Chains A and B, each alone.
Chain A
Amino acid sequence: NAGVTQTPKFQVLKTGQSMTLQCAQDMNHNSMYWYRQDPGMGLRLIYYSASEGTTDKGEVPNGYNVSRLNKREFSLRLESAAPSQTSVYFCASTPREFYEQYFGPGTRLTVT
């Protein structure tokens, strides 16, 4: 039981490049989330998926898109990376909304 896995662990992009961050959970959870963490800012919600087939914007969705591929997988795409998107990205899942969240190990992204 791996819990929540994220790939890649580290990534360096040039401004304007695109990439997809992958997240998968093996706990049969319904809800999945993408957060970014910046120094002094806590965790800010980018997008979430309350259940398979649905996605909604969070607090900071600009510059990102998501896909809930199936119940297990929830990916985050940066179409044209900007230096302001340099951050640590965490994926999380929960059996139901407002229950405890299980976080993945994170992806450390640098955009130059």
Chain B
Amino acid sequence: GQQVMQIPQYQHVQEGEDFTTYCNSSTTLSNIQWYKQRPGGHPVFLIQLVKSGEVKKQKRLTFQFGEAKKNSSLHITATQTTDVGTYFCAAAFGNEKLTFGTGTRLTIIP
């Protein structure tokens, strides 16, 4: 099946610093979704990107979809302790089922 690479696997940041996670594919994507999973919790949908070059913002979170629709990023500005968790991308390749990335675990140093 298709694969999507997500980096980094772990990220430790001081509170107030920025954070970015990347999702990369060798194949063009139909769309990409982002989810957040708090420790001990379940994944919660954040956003879906469909258009080439699309940029969406949710408060301190900025999501981008690459021009070639092969990569995406999630950027958090001025992290807070509430941002702790694992962030997953989930990519759709044509009519195939969503493929989840391996996730980036974010920890915040107060």
Contacts and interface: CB of A to CB of B under 8 A. Distances in A.
A98 B88 CA distance: 15
Interface string A78-105: 0000000000001010000111111111
Interface residues of A, number: 23
Interface string A33-59: 101000011111100100000000011
A42 B45 contact: no
A100 B102 contact: no
Contact of A104 (B30, B31, B35, B42): B42
Contacts of B98: 45, 98, 101
Contacts of B41: 105
Contacts of A90: 42-43
A42 B103 contact: yes
B63 to A, nearest CB: 13
Given A59-B1, A98-B30, A100-B48, A43 B97 contact: no
B22 interface: no
A42 B33 contact: no
A40 B88 contact: no
B97 A42 contact: no
B85 interface: no
Given A43-B88, A98-B92, A58 B42 contact: no
Contacts of B6: 42
Interface of B: 1, 6, 9, 30-31, 33, 35, 41-45, 48, 88, 90, 92, 97-98, 100-103
Interface of A: 33, 35, 40-45, 48, 58-59, 90, 92, 97-106
| A-B CB proximity, top 3 nearest | A100-B45, A43-B100, A103-B42
